[in-house]
Amino acid sequence: MHYILEILPSLLSGAGLTLQVFLWTLVGSLPLGLILSLGLISNIKPLQWLINFYVWLMRGTPLLLQLIVVFYGFPLIGIVFPRYEAALFAFILNYAAYFAEIFRGGLQSIDNGQYESARVLRLSYAQTIRKIVIPQVVKIVLPSVGNEVINLIKDSSLVYVIGLGDLLRAGNVATARDVTLIPLLLVGVIYLVLTAVTTFVLGRVEKHYSYWK
Amino acid sequence: MLTLKNITKRFGDRTIIDQLDLTVKDGEVLSIVGPSGAGKTTLLRCITGLEKVDEGEFLIDGQPFDPYTNRTNESVIGVVFQNFQLFPHLTVLQNITLAPTMVLKESEADAQANAQKLLERLDLGDHGDQYPYQLSGGQQQRVAIARALAMKPNVLCYDEPTSALDPNLRQEVEKLILGLKADGMTQIVVSHDLTFAENIADDMLRVEPNQSK
Ligand SMILES: Nc1ncnc2c1ncn2[C@@H]1O[C@H](COP(=O)(O)OP(=O)(O)O)[C@@H](O)[C@H]1O
Ligand SMILES: [Mg+2]
């Protein structure tokens, strides 16, 4: 018990970094994903190709590789990111691609009649997207977005590889130093708590959207 | 008065509407009848600006207008779609007030009061806070009518208003349309049900599938 209290501060500070990566990635990748998905359903072919290529690249290679390329590879061509920024950059670009695909599916499941209905009521395209399409898409994509959000909590441990002091690193350091499994077990418990809380929040959000069918 | 002059609509090299002339007088009901595939929906979609015509012109009270590009708030053509296309995430009242507040810039209070009046006129006074999925087909149709009327259209169009409803509701729809006619509404009703069309019509247009295609 005494030992747990001793290592807890360093684990919690690692968890703090994990949460920061988590939150900033969501803040960046959700809007970016939405914008990309609007490009995917637009009629502008070159734009579609470009975004499709981007999505293919991001989803077709490991996030770990992307992280390493951004932090260790980019400096070779003169682009230097500090560790934390490199992590956010790679995570946001990667997750935006997944979200773009999810949103595209959601957008395409909206009946064309909804757009026509809005059109004959003389709503502008922007008003239609904001008032008619997005509220319906949010409900549709919520479960899939939720899955990605949970994945992101765990994926965030990949920042370990570029030397960021996240939760996993904090646990690993303590385990190596004190030759005991306890820190790693605690790390597992903290991840479980984080995912449990997130699952709960997502459940509430889904419930919030259950007032209509 | 709505006038169509020489309207032609093609899909690829198939001519669906061939040089059609048509006049709908103020306060009258025009029925458009014909077998399935004759181009009734297509004609309605041209009138409501959802399809671009290839030739011909539209006049409202003698003034030329192009339904496809027209974005002014006069010369409004309202539509009740075959499957109504209500906005599922909005209450009945919100469905009706959305466009008047966003497009006509009516105040929320005015739009609400007007919507409530329309709902009462259509025997839906108590249903304002319900969501579309909670309503029967006939009720949904009346919400769609109220939503269209809230935009103060010159002409109200229906595509097959009896097809999505119980057969025994046919007379209700007849009464509804004749009631709106008594209020002075100009209406165009597409149907493949000849008896129904004859019961409501001041004027009939018969369309046949174009032989040349
Ligand atoms: N968007 C479209 N592209 C190509 N052909 C179409 C399109 N919409 C309708 N058509 C064709 O036009 C013809 C008339 O269709 P429609 O107007 O729906 O007839 P109705 O409503 O009288 O049953 C049909 O042969 C249909 O296949
Ligand atoms: Mg039809």
Position B211 confidence tier, pLDDT thresholds 50, 70, 90: low
Tell me the chain A residues in contact with residue B93 when contact means C-beta distances shorter than 8 Å. Answer: none
**What is the set of domains in chain A, with CATH numbers?**
2-211 (1.10.3720.10)
- Contact at CB, A211 and B98, closer than 8 angstroms: no
Mean pLDDT of all residues in chain B?
A: 93
* Average pLDDT of span B10-32: 95
- In chain A (213 residues long), the average pLDDT of successive 10-residue segments reads 88 93 97 95 94 97 96 94 95 98 96 96 94 94 96 94 90 92 94 96 92 84
Structure confidence at residue B130 (pLDDT): 97
Give percent of chain B above pLDDT 70: 99
Rounded to an integer, the average pLDDT of B84-92 is 97
Model pLDDT for residues B190-202, shown as the tens digit of each residue:
998 999 999 999 9
pLDDT given for residue A213 in this prediction:
81
Q: What is the pLDDT of residue B212?
A: 54
Output the ligand 1 site: residues, CB below 6 A: B 11, 16, 34, 36-42
For residue B83, pLDDT beyond 90: yes
pTM of the model: 0.87
Domains recognised in chain B with CATH numbers: 2-206 (3.40.50.300)
pLDDT-derived band of residue B73, with 50, 70 and 90 as boundaries? confident
What's the CA gap between A104 and A116, in Å, rounded? 19
**Residues B48/B54, Cβ–Cβ less than 8 Å:** no
CA distance B5 to chain A (A): 22
Choose the mutation target among A110, A115, A122 for the interface with B, i.e. most B CBs under 10 Å: A122
Q: How much is the pLDDT for B196?
A: 95
Closest Cα of chain A to B107: distance in Å? 16
User: What is the DSSP code string of B70-109?
Assistant: --SSSS-EEEE-TT----TTS-HHHHHHHHHHHTS---HH
Chosen from B70, B89, B93, B131 to mutate, greatest number of chain A CBs within 10 A:
B89
Minimal Cα–Cα distance from A125 to chain B, Å?
Answer: 12
Instruction: Provide mean pLDDT across the span B113-121.
Output: 96
Place of tokens 């030397």: A163
Q: Is the pLDDT of residue B71 over 80?
A: no
How many distinct helices (H) and strands (E) make up chain B? 6, 9
Give residue for tokens 């198939």: B14
As a whole number of angstroms, the distance between CA B42 and CA B36 comes to: 11
SS3 A11: helix
- Whether residue A123 and residue B71 make contact (CB cut-off 8 A), yes or no, is no
pLDDT of residue A203: 94
pLDDT at A1: 77
Question: How many whole angstroms separate alpha carbon B167 and alpha carbon B164?
Answer: 9
pLDDT at residue B198, rounded to an integer: 95
In angstroms, the CA A71 to CA A86 distance is: 6
| Residue range B151-184, pLDDT digits in tens | 999 999 999 999 988 888 899 999 999 999 999 9
CB pairs under 8 A between A and B: 57
- Which whole number is the average pLDDT over B32-60? 94
What is the end-to-end Cα distance of chain A in Å, rounded?
A: 50
Residue B213's pLDDT band (cuts 50, 70, 90): very low
CA-B12 nearest atom, ligand 1? 4
B72 pLDDT band, cuts 50/70/90, is confident
